[in-house]
Structure 1
Amino acid sequence: MTKQLLLLLFFSSMVVSAQNVTIPDTNFKATLVANTAINTNNDSEIQTSEANAFSGSMDVSNKNIANLNGIEAFINLTSLSCYSNQLTSLDLSKNVKLKYLYSYNNKLTSIDVSKNTELNTLYSYDNELTSIDITNNLSLVYFDCSTNKINTLDTSKNTMLSKIYCHTNQLTDLDVTKNVDLRLFFCYNNGNISSLDVSKNIELSSLNCGGNKITSLDVSNCPKLTKLYCSINSLTSLNLANGTNTTFKEIEVVRNSSLNCIQVDDIAYSTSNWTGSNFAFDSASSFSENCATASINKNSLATVKIYPVPVKETLNIGINKEEITTINISDISGRIVFKGKSNNSINLNYLPTGVYILRLTTITGVLTKKFLKN
């Protein structure tokens, strides 16, 4: 009788043990046990039935957790916040109901979201990932994999993507032509992206592709674009003539030493309005409504002289005043200090000593020159 009782107790304990979720990380387990929405019987374990039944949001962020073994039991989990931990790998293949994942600021070298077909949001920035596969995540709308070590990224299947942050990685090529609903796209500081086609991204409103090796950029098919940053590239061609230049709020195109011509909708508008701290261009760049012909006219503009330099009172421009469309003079902060037209002799006696920038719009193009006022 005693022997039978011992056997019964042994097998009962085995059954109870089998009903508990194995959670080896003590910090992860403690966080789950303390969550009454998960630990509904308020004991010191998480039963499989409790894990299976939980369908809400799990927040285990900033708990010094090294692994999430046991997460596989939460088959109905819809949202997981596990950011700011010590995680090195993350397998969510059993969490097929997951829609929102925030796994940023860890030490992840691998992540498996291949079975998470309902995923809407994936933020896994500030990790050590060298690759990430999102080709099965067809419902993905918000994606951030920035500040990792990723060298290839395939977003061709993710046609619902609205925001892509993939900056500060090691990407050399990026194709977003299938991401037709893309509104915000940050791919800056990858270093070696040499080309970028955004001709299909007609919903795009903000683009930052600075810190690469892009030689040509055409946003003429992006009528909703209001913010553009493409500094520190190798641009020789930039087409901003998207038909809605009046809606641009910020443009930064500096440190592109070979960019001489920027194609725009209206030279006069861009010259007059794209000034101040929200707009930055290299002094060697000029606006044109047709850069193809501007390159021909550039030689004739290059011969135009301004004198005397430094100027004390009157600045003279060595061109017939009939050829001048508009004249803008700004200080080095971008503040316009003079606006005029059809005048090749300008009285600047009222200006304080300093460096100024002359932007001269003519019938053949735009000339920008710096000069000193004494």
Structure 2
Amino acid sequence: MKKMLFYILTLAGLGAQAQNLRFPDNNFKEALLSNGVDANGDGEIQMAEAKKITKLYIDHANITDLTGIKNFTNLEEFGFYDNKLRIIDFSGMSNLKSIYGFNNEIERFNVKGCTKLQDIYLSFNKIRMPDVNGLPALKDLRLDNNAISNVAFSNVPNLEVLELQRNKMYTLKLDHHPNLRRLNLTNNYFSTLDFTPFKKLEEIWLMDNEFLKSLHIRGLRALKELHLESCPLLINLNLSGTVSLRKFNWY
């Protein structure tokens, strides 16, 4: 009888231990513990505790590895800015709506299958080839101050805000983005840009594009702001049809 009781208690202990989630980066685990994820106060994080979290911010924690984040299956809003991350993988996190990861060292990120994702803020990183294809809910994408040379988007029909300033871009392929309203491409290397397909554009920021020679904005009736400071090679500009233009800087 005593042996049987011991056996049962041992199995129970192993079962409880098996539910503890693994986080290879101790700084990540400590940040989770300090944010109240450990509801029962045992110094560990169980799957049941992770599933209760919908919003999480773990900034300024010297984190280099987010392994284990996919256990937070109901996470909707995640802030992890001012850390030391190089690669982030949120693929398959279908409830995720917003990620804020500026001021890291991110080179690659994976958001495949994040069909509810609306906001991506990954400014001030080292991203070269962003992949944001197949994000039907995405509205706000901010990848400024990275190392991007080229980017193409597909199946991102609801994009409204795109910020790519201070990168290393020469070309930009934007197709089927009827809802684009704000576009910031300041301080890049474009020579020709055509925005005439984007009838809802309200703001265009193109300052410090020293090689820009040709810009097409004719007929953009919703355009309210146009910023062209420090574009010395841009000589001619057709503004016909921009009936809503209220702020125009070009010198």
TM-score normalised by L of structure 2: 0.90
Q: CA deviation at 1:242?
A: 2.3
Q: CA deviation at 1:53?
A: 3.3
- The residue aligned with 1:61 is 59
Cα distance in 2 for partners of 1:58, 1:17 equals 24
- The residue aligned with 1:31 is 31
Of the candidates 210, 215, 218, which is equivalent to residue 217 of structure 1? 215
Asked if the contact 1:127–1:148 (Cα under 8 Å) also holds between the matched residues in 2, the reply is yes
1:130 aligned onto 2:128 = yes
- The residue aligned with 1:200 is 197
Asked if the contact 1:181–1:203 (Cα under 8 Å) also holds between the matched residues in 2, the reply is yes
> SS at 1:30's partner residue?
helix
Q: Bigger CA drift: 70-79 or 211-220?
A: 211-220
Give unmatched runs, 5+ long, in structure 1.
255-374
- The residue aligned with 1:102 is 100
After TM superposition, the structure 1 = structure 2 runs for residues 146-157 of structure 1, keeping only pairs within 5 Å, are: 146-157=144-155
- The residue aligned with 1:240 is 239
Cα distance in 2 for partners of 1:17, 1:103 equals 32
- The residue aligned with 1:50 is 49
Q: CA deviation at 1:235?
A: 2.0
Cα gap change, 1:68 to 1:82, in 2 (>3 Å): same
Matched AA of 2:194: D
Q: Deviations over 1:200-258 (max 9, x none)?
A: 1122111112333222112222122222122325324311222526x42232x23xxxx
Matched AA of 1:206: E
Higher strand fraction (1 or 2):
1
Asked if the contact 1:104–1:126 (Cα under 8 Å) also holds between the matched residues in 2, the reply is yes
Q: Deviations over 1:249-282 (max 9, x none)?
A: 232x23xxxxxxxxxxxxxxxxxxxxxxxxxxxx
Cα distance in 2 for partners of 1:3, 1:88 equals 51
Cα distance in 2 for partners of 1:2, 1:194 equals 82
Q: CA deviation at 1:172?
A: 1.7
Asked if the contact 1:177–1:198 (Cα under 8 Å) also holds between the matched residues in 2, the reply is no
- The residue aligned with 1:174 is 172
- The residue aligned with 1:90 is 88
Asked if the contact 1:152–1:171 (Cα under 8 Å) also holds between the matched residues in 2, the reply is yes
Give unmatched runs, 5+ long, in structure 2.
none
Asked if the contact 1:60–1:82 (Cα under 8 Å) also holds between the matched residues in 2, the reply is yes
Q: CA deviation at 1:154?
A: 1.4
- The residue aligned with 1:229 is 227
Cα distance in 2 for partners of 1:79, 1:243 equals 38
Percent identity for Structure 1 against Structure 2? 29
Cα distance in 2 for partners of 1:61, 1:85 equals 6
Asked if the contact 1:200–1:221 (Cα under 8 Å) also holds between the matched residues in 2, the reply is no
Cα distance in 1 for partners of 2:92, 2:216 equals 43
Q: Bigger CA drift: 140-149 or 168-177?
A: 168-177
Aligned residues: 249
> SS at 2:70's partner residue?
helix
Larger radius of gyration: 1
Cα gap change, 1:6 to 1:150, in 2 (>3 Å): farther
Cα distance in 1 for partners of 2:30, 2:242 equals 58
RMSD between superposed Cα atoms in Å:
2.1
Asked if the contact 2:114–2:135 (Cα under 8 Å) also holds between the matched residues in 1, the reply is yes
- The residue aligned with 1:114 is 112
Cα distance in 2 for partners of 1:208, 1:177 equals 19
After TM superposition, the structure 1 = structure 2 runs for residues 273-288 of structure 1, keeping only pairs within 5 Å, are: none
